[in-house]
Amino acid sequence: MSCFRRSSTATAFNSGSERAEAALSVLDSHLAHRDYLCAAEPTIADLICYADVAFAEVCGFDLKRWSNVALWAERVTALPDFQAPFALLAMEDAELA
């Protein structure tokens, strides 16, 4: 038996999707006239924020809708020695209980 009613789960998902889209829109606006979030060069803020954007992609969000975010993500992933957030986790070998 599920802890959530189907309609409650769908409502929560839709609300989360709307909030994620709003956040991506704010980020897109912020990146409209800059290459990185806080400075002319990448900072820890870019790396931390990229983890959330990568998760949005895993959740099915198409970054092409937010062109500035998509270009920024390309710049971040092109940084020397960059490793994707999920590549740093042992998720592939993890056993699910």
Burial class of 35 by CB neighbour count within 10 A (0 to 12, 13 to 18, 19+): middle
Rounded distance between C-alpha atoms, residue 32 and residue 66, angstroms: 10
| 3-class state of residue 89 by DSSP | coil
The per-residue DSSP string of 19-35 comes to HHHHHHHHHHHHTTT-S
pLDDT at 4: 42
pLDDT at position 40 over 70: yes
Rounded distance between C-alpha atoms, residue 53 and residue 27, angstroms: 10
Instruction: Please give the mean pLDDT across all residues of the chain.
Output: 82
pTM of the model: 0.74
